[in-house]
Chain A
């Protein structure tokens, strides 16, 4: 057992076995107490709900690993969704074909990348704190979105777009496939590329990274640009899931994405963090929420439980760190 634990932690990082343990615990508890929990339908609904939060969490994750933050993720996603919606409506709305969709998607990703690049540039060249810069960008994008839509919904998209939000391929939900692809991409980016290495070094100590010859400014811009691109993908997915766009969709998810990152063992000070534990943390959160839902609790109670759960996990990590320290001493 301890051997398995050790092998898991060396292969996937120290957070993974603990999180898998939590997942198993949650599955067993809800399996025993919640009716219809261990059914295909329930897991199907989890698989459809997970990707939205998942993509946004990936967008939040890269800046956090670099020691920053991106509080503008929700509104970047909304703006990207709006862009796609505008293009589709320009080309016939419900009757729009594939080409407008492709054009809209490219423009939406461009919008996400642009907002990220501006943030990255301000952070890199002016040296302002990422929380403040992304906060300003968040307020700006929300204002811009509300200005363009007058606070209303935009809908009327071609029906085949529902495949993206609600379809399945070989029984696997399309959103889940999209999310897994993005997660793998992020994993490769962070662990196998020069950019990923720079991200972690900047998160550990930006000055040392700079003196060591890393182009920290360019890397910072790239980090926020990529984060913006991921937001755009999330925005497009949200559009096809709700079949409408409204500025403020998913607002409540902002701090949940941060919560998921920390739960997945991303260091709040930056420098450390892996994609796999974050994905498992996301699954745990979503399973918790759907289990509570089946027990008759509403979304708000799940929010509270998520918060308490994070505190609980942090306390357990503190306890584990103290235990191992004591072992080392004796």
Chain B
């Protein structure tokens, strides 16, 4: 317990806040602590979590990516045309294509950042504008509904009829989310590359002198983020059964807020998969709770903004000190 608080100060604080929030909401609304609500929370936030773990790797490596949500839209369009060209496809091909296109878009960012030594926020704001502008230009803002049936058909992995007759179900994106989280965790915690990413994010020049190939680090970080963005795009269309060019633009900043809330540092070298998940969940639970309490949907964003502001404002408190002789965490 103590060592967890020491090692993950932000995560444990976030977890505490989340638990208090959940306890309060369970007391205030009978619909909160139900299986149906819990599974729908997971279903609705799987896409955000997939993006979040992708972005996490970039933040750990000391970069920032603004372009991933737009890249996901681009991947969706490319996928629709690619699947039409090869005459259908299936889930395996779908993941391969979506991940591949995403990876390619991420590598464009990595190439520009590494080759020309441009700071990542400049590059990704440029590619954000370039991707979005080109997508809107070539798609003329058209929606696509002609998705292959395997793509748009709901895949229910687990379902359960509760006592009052409503169904609790877990759909495919949740499983994909779990796989993406696990894969990212393995990458950053269990491989040498992961340790190098942290080192590179913490001190790029030091990492370079220690012999870490920095070009490869950028490629892995942005490639991973792009790949996750592509997969999240595939999942998003799977849920909505359509491809809309401007549906995802603007989501990048909300995901960024959630990831940073989860303890990743802008500037590199810190962050965890658990924190990402909790960050996304905190925002989601807040909105969900407001909804159940009957608050006007127009007020949601306002409260979410206040919650994030409060969360940052309390982030200088150190919970490790409250338990025994903490010292500096």
A in complex with B: yes
Within 8 A of B (CB), among A99-146: 122, 126-129, 131-133, 135-144, 146
Complex Cα distance, B30 from A39, in Å, reads 67
Interface string of A217-251 (1 = CB under 8 A from B): 00000000000000000000000000000000001
Instruction: Flag whether B186 is at the interface (Cβ < 8 A).
Output: no
> What chain A residues lie within 8 Å of B119 (beta carbons)?
268-269
Interface string of A144-156 (1 = CB under 8 A from B): 1011001100000
Instruction: Flag whether B266 is at the interface (Cβ < 8 A).
Output: yes
Would A147 and B137 count as touching, CB distance under 8 A?
no
Would B117 and A307 count as touching, CB distance under 8 A?
no
CB distance from B264 to the nearest CB of A (A): 10
Of A7-15, A160-168, A196-204, A253-261, the stretch lying at the interface with chain B is A253-261
Complex Cα distance, B237 from A33, in Å, reads 41
Chain A: which residue is nearest B249 at the CB level? A252
> What chain B residues lie within 8 Å of A259 (beta carbons)?
125-126, 129
Would B125 and A258 count as touching, CB distance under 8 A?
yes
Q: How large is the interface on B (under 10, 10 to 19, 20 to 34, 35 or more residues)?
A: 35 or more
Instruction: Flag whether A209 is at the interface (Cβ < 8 A).
Output: no
Would A136 and B129 count as touching, CB distance under 8 A?
no
Would A307 and B305 count as touching, CB distance under 8 A?
no
Chain A: which residue is nearest B116 at the CB level? A318
- Among B130, B305, B313, chain A packs the most CB atoms within 10 A around the CB of B305
Within 8 A of B (CB), among A66-109: 71
Number of interface residues of A (CB under 8 A): 47
Would B122 and A304 count as touching, CB distance under 8 A?
no
Given A256-B129, A297-B137, A143 and B301 contact (CB-CB distance below 8 Å)? yes
Instruction: Flag whether A177 is at the interface (Cβ < 8 A).
Output: no
Would A71 and B253 count as touching, CB distance under 8 A?
yes
Chain A: which residue is nearest B302 at the CB level? A143
> What chain A residues lie within 8 Å of B118 (beta carbons)?
311, 314-315, 318
For A132, give its contact among B266, B296, B298 (CB under 8 Å): B266
For A147, give its contact among B134, B253, B296, B309 (CB under 8 Å): B296
In addition to A126-B312, A297-B137, 18 A-B residue pairs with Cβ atoms within 8 Å of each other are A122-B312, A126-B316, A131-B256, A133-B309, A133-B312, A136-B306, A144-B302, A258-B121, A259-B125, A259-B126, A262-B125, A268-B119, A268-B121, A303-B136, A304-B131, A305-B133, A307-B125, A308-B130
Closest 4 CB pairs of A and B: A140-B305, A304-B133, A143-B301, A143-B302
